[in-house]
Amino acid sequence: MFRLFKRDPPKEPAHAQLAPAETYSDNRLVSVIRSTLEASPAIVGCFFLVAYENADVICGVFSRVAKEEGSYPATVEGFVRFLADEHAKRKSASTEDAINRRRYFYLYSSTLLKVAHGRAKQHPELWDQIADIWIALMKSARHLRNTLDTTGLWTSSETEFFANVKTEQDGERYCLMVAPPEIRYHKKLADWLDG
């Protein structure tokens, strides 16, 4: 009888169960990344960019440990699997788990983009879809300085990459600089910049 008055706990967002990169087809991989950024506030793209800039360093450490321990393949795909597993472990409502869950999610998503870049080198037609992701990131990059000045998700050493980003234009320039060359010179991005 009392069950009628109890509310079910809210369901986790759709990205709560993160999958290994190798389970995604090329199109699905790009779609998953794009859906993270589309219709999201600019802060999502800003956090994504911070994670993107830090992913290579963290993946390097991960690869060394993975080679020693053998628990994951010492590859970018192995790193994605590790991030998905670590994200899944953070289930409590504690502030620490909530922060780490978000950090792992952004690292996971940005590393998926690196996987997509690798696949696009094998299948160049993917660059056209990946350009849409970078356009979304360019839009968010305008808000980098304000976001980094007002949030505490990332440490100062993790945001050091963005020390010279002071204006919206600096944010756009920085984003363009870290994009792969296939994106920097892509027609879609050129059209967006001219628009």
pLDDT in tens, 153-180: 999 999 999 999 999 999 999 999 999 9
**Mean pLDDT, the chain, as a whole number?**
90
Q: What is the pLDDT of residue 55?
A: 96
**17: in domain:** no
**56: in domain:** yes
Give the DSSP H or E segment for 138: helix 126-141
Contact 28, 126 (CB under 8 A): no
Q: What is the pLDDT of residues 18-64, one digit of tens each?
A: 999 999 999 999 999 999 998 889 999 999 999 999 999 999 999 99
**12: in domain:** no
Contact 183, 127 (CB under 8 A): yes
**113: in domain:** yes
Residue 165, both tokens: 């980003």
Contact 104, 83 (CB under 8 A): yes
**176: in domain:** yes
Span 85-111, mean pLDDT?
93
User: What range defines the domain where residue 98 resides?
Assistant: 25-194
The pTM of the full predicted model, rounded to 2 decimals, is 0.89
**5: in domain:** no
Span 82-104, mean pLDDT?
92
- Least confident range from 1-5, 36-40, 80-84, 157-161: namely 1-5
When divided into structural domains, the chain yields a total of 1
pLDDT class of 2 with cuts at 50, 70, 90: very low
**30: in domain:** yes
Residue 101, both tokens: 């869950």
**123: in domain:** yes
Q: 175-178 contacts: CB < 8 A, separation 24 or more? A: 175/49, 175/134, 175/137, 175/138, 175/140, 175/141, 176/138, 178/49, 178/52, 178/53
